[in-house]
Copies of this chain bind each other. A is one copy, B any other.
Amino acid sequence: MRVEILCTGDEILTGKTINTNYSHMAQRLGDVGLTVHWGTTVGDDRASLLQAFRQAGERADAVIVNGGLGPTVDDLSQEVAAEACGVELVLSDYWMTRMTESYARRGRVMPPNNRKQAMLPANAEFIDNPIGTACGFAVTIGQARFFFTPGVPREMRRMLDEQVIPRLLKLGGITGVTRLKRFHSFGIGESRADNMLADMEVFKNGGDIKLGFQAHYPQLETKLAVHGENEADLLARLAPVEAEVRKRLGNFIIAEDDQTLEGVILATLLERGHTLSTAEMFSGGHLAARLAPLAGAEHVFRRGIVARDPGELGINGVSTEAAESVGRTLRKESGASHALALLIELDAGADRPDFGGTICVGIADTRATVSRQARLIGGRDWVRAGAVELGLDCLRRHLLGLPVDERIDFERR
């Protein structure tokens, strides 16, 4: 079944409001095994709405329209839906009564322009909105069933889950389940990850499972999308592929699904009753900011030191020896079981695309001190983001007993 989402409103069209309603709707549909094939955004403009309804009505089996159900003159969804259907708008006595009663319960009189919200296309199927004055409705335009939902996020979310999704599943005769398995990695770029996985039969054209990547520097997300008849069938097909991907990406996998790198580190430290202090130069608090604010970090995070001058950390310059020394001293002084030191020696001169820095990471625990050096380039912000990730990843690797100095793609030597 081809499902489309059509978002309306000048605020969305002009970019003033970021369209989080769209992403919420598309994700919820994906969760229940429905695929969104097309998204459209148009403003509060009669001609655009009519054209958008007609074009979607030709392409899709079902369309969710969001917004334009409010009481003001720029809310046009009902009017244009009626026009597209070739029917009149008719007052819903039921909805007028519901709105009037709802205002009365709060000791208020309904403003006259709310009447507009009870005007529905004559052929519309009524869809309830238990928490707002914008009622939903469904009509057929072209070959598609259109579901009209309010723009207010909490009203849209409830109507989507309780009213629209059940109707869509019925319409699509959908059985079965869908899963998106995600691996987060650090140290390999999209092309390298693609090379590492592309020869797996299951990903080839028409294969069983769809492989996708998403780069959010410095991390890369590797995604496996799979549909199954039922949970057991899905898991049976996903399990071996998942295991193979995990094996191939190996030590570079920093987290899976909803996990984060910092979450994995925090969970490991918490589980072992460890505590952590950090010291950083140039990253200026970005390292601490990944860990210290997390729920649970109050049991783990001891002290973060942010400095711009090596002298402030008791060292003369940036080196792996200095990073180890800062780690050892900080661990002792703060009484933490672990200390992570992230030092950066920046290139001289103004920021530029090939501006770089030398990163030295030092980790001290009760038994040993390890360190790692790497050179990153790409401008100040890029180097800083890469350095923070490198520091955190070294700590993860150290905690998990993996090599801390495996070469990464972003690194120059």
Q: For chain A, residues 1 to 42, give those with C-beta under 8 angstroms from any C-beta of chain B.
A: 7, 10-20, 22-27, 29-30, 35-42
Choice from B12, B29, B45, B297 contacting A308 with Cβ under 8 Å: B297
Q: Is the CB of A286 within 8 A of B285?
A: yes
Would you call A15 and B30 a contact (CB within 8 A)? yes
Q: Is there contact, CB below 8 Å, between A292 and B297? A: no
A193 → chain B closest CB, angstroms: 9
Q: Residue A292 contacts which of B70, B212, B306, B413 (CB distance < 8 angstroms)?
A: B306
In the complex, the chain B residue whose C-beta lies closest to that of A304 is B306
Residues on B with beta carbons closer than 8 Å to the beta carbon of A190: 70-72
On whether the beta carbons of B284 and A293 are closer than 8 Å, the reply is: yes
* A330 at the B interface (CB under 8 A): no
Classify the secondary structure of A's interface with B: mixed
By size class, the interface of chain A is 35 or more
A194 interfacial contact with B, CB 8 Å:
yes
Residues of chain B contacted by A19 (CB below 8 angstroms): 18-19, 22-23
* Interface flag for A43 (CB, 8 Å): yes
CB atoms of A14 and B30 under 8 A apart: yes
Q: Once the chains bind, are B293 and A282 in contact (CB under 8 Å)?
A: yes
Question: Is A111 in contact with chain B by the CB < 8 A criterion?
Answer: yes
Task: Evaluate contact between A71 and B191: CB separation under 8 angstroms.
Answer: yes
The minimal Cβ–Cβ distance linking A270 to chain B, given in whole angstroms, is: 13
Q: Is A146 an interface residue (CB 8 A)?
A: no
**In this assembly, does A371 line the interface, its C-beta being within 8 Å of a C-beta of chain B?**
no
Q: Are A307 and B303 in contact (CB under 8 A)?
A: yes
Residue of B nearest to A5 (CB): B41
CB pair B295–A285 under 8 Å, yes or no, is no
Report the separation of the CA atoms of residues A309 and B300 in the bound assembly, to the nearest whole angstrom: 10
Known A-B contacts A41-B38, A130-B353, A303-B305; the reply to A72 vs B285 at CB < 8 A is: no
Give 4 closest A-B pairs by Cβ, nearest first. Answer: A284-B292, A15-B26, A304-B306, A285-B288
Told that A111-B192, A301-B307 touch, could you supply 7 new A-B pairs with CB distance under 8 A?
A14-B36, A16-B23, A37-B48, A105-B354, A284-B291, A302-B312, A306-B306
